[in-house]
Structure formats: C-alpha cells, structure tokens
Amino acid sequence: MKFLTRWAVMTGACLLAASAVAQPMTVADVKYEETASVSGSTLQLNGAGVRYKAVFKVYTAGLYLEKKAGTPTDVMAQKGPKRMSITMLRDIDSTELGKLFSRGMEDNMDRAAFSKLIPGVLRMSQIFSDHKKLVAGDQFQIDWIPGTGTIITVKGKPQGEPFKEPEFFNALLGIWLGNAPADWKLKDALLGKTAQSPS
C-alpha cells in the first residue's frame, strides 16, 4: 500500500512538473501553443504577453526556445533555433512598425555594433514598408535557424533571403529583452516571470 501511495504521489508530482514546463497560453484572445516546430526542432513556449502603447494594446508576442530561460543572457546563449511570434491587436502602418523596431534595436546596442547591422536594419525596414499596413489578427514570425540565419515570415510567407549574422537576431530580441525594452511588463512575460492577464 505504501508503494502504491508513493507511486501515486510521484506520478502526481511528475504530472505537475510536466504541466509547469509548457502550457498553451492565451493573451488578449490570441492562443500560443505550448510548442512550435522550427527547422525540425520542437521549441517550448518560454512566455507570452501584450505590448502596450499607453493604454492601447498593440500586439501580442510569444517567445519559443529549445529550453526555458529566465534571463536575457540565458536566451541569447542558447545556440539552437528560436522564434518570436507576433500577432497584431490593432491596425498599424507597417512602415511605422519597421521604424519602431529599428529604433528599438538601436536603443539596446552600442553605436559601433549597431552600425555593422545597418544594411540588415534597412532591409528589415523595407520588408515592413512593402506590406503597407498590418491589421488586427495579422501574424509574423522572426526565426533564428543555426546555419541559415534570421527568417522573417509575414502572414505565412518568408520575406526574402535570411539575415546571416547571428548578431542580427540577438539585436532584434533586444527590442523586447534589452536594457531599454519596448515594454517592461512584456519583457517579464516573455521571460516567464509574470503571467499577463488573458483578457
């Protein structure tokens, strides 16, 4: 009987641990699955949250990694595939979004490092400009694939050639995880530190 009780306790503990590792999450009515497949690798949802501008919800973002990470350093140190998945919550001029991303990269890097990435930053801005407008419900992904580079996918379609430099993806992540993030609450949510309200 003791064995059965111990077995039941261990089984329950294992189930609780498994459920704590990766759960689907819904933020602002956008569902983020507990896993995502990127370049043949299964990634876990590390965290997800909402980007606010004043009181307005702009988009949701979810970060997928090979293993859980609680600090920006741990995220950047992982060598495998990574994904940032973003779903718009309101209509926005795509050119403006591209400018905001460029500024976010610049705000979280030293000038010399940023200057080396300017060709990629300009190409990224052009990708968003080409789409004119993103409306509520539109999705895009930013994937890091080792040996390939950073792939930006907008509304299900990859946009041009990959950005080869590993520094480019980390610079993009700096928009959300850097020392001057776009939204501090979103940074904490992506790192799994807080659960933003699903409403």
Q: Is 71 exposed, middle or buried (0-12, 13-18, 19+ CB in 10 A)?
A: exposed
Closest to 127 measured CA to CA, from 100, 156, 160, 101: 160
Closest to 171 measured CA to CA, from 110, 128, 127, 125: 110
What's the CATH number where 69 sits?
3.50.70.10
Whether 3 is covered by a domain: the verdict is no
Type of residue at 192: G
Identify the bridge partners of residue 30 per DSSP, sorted by sequence position: 27
Name the stretches of the chain with pLDDT < 50.
Answer: 3-4, 7-20, 196-199
Whether 81 is covered by a domain: the verdict is yes
pTM to 2 decimals? 0.85
Identify the domain containing residue 171 by its residue range.
31-190
> Which pLDDT does position 54 carry in this prediction?
85
Whether 127 is covered by a domain: the verdict is yes
Number of structural domains the chain divides into: 1
Whether 9 is covered by a domain: the verdict is no
> Which pLDDT does position 31 carry in this prediction?
95
Whether 11 is covered by a domain: the verdict is no
Whether 49 is covered by a domain: the verdict is yes
Whether 16 is covered by a domain: the verdict is no
Residue carrying structure tokens 């606010």: 52
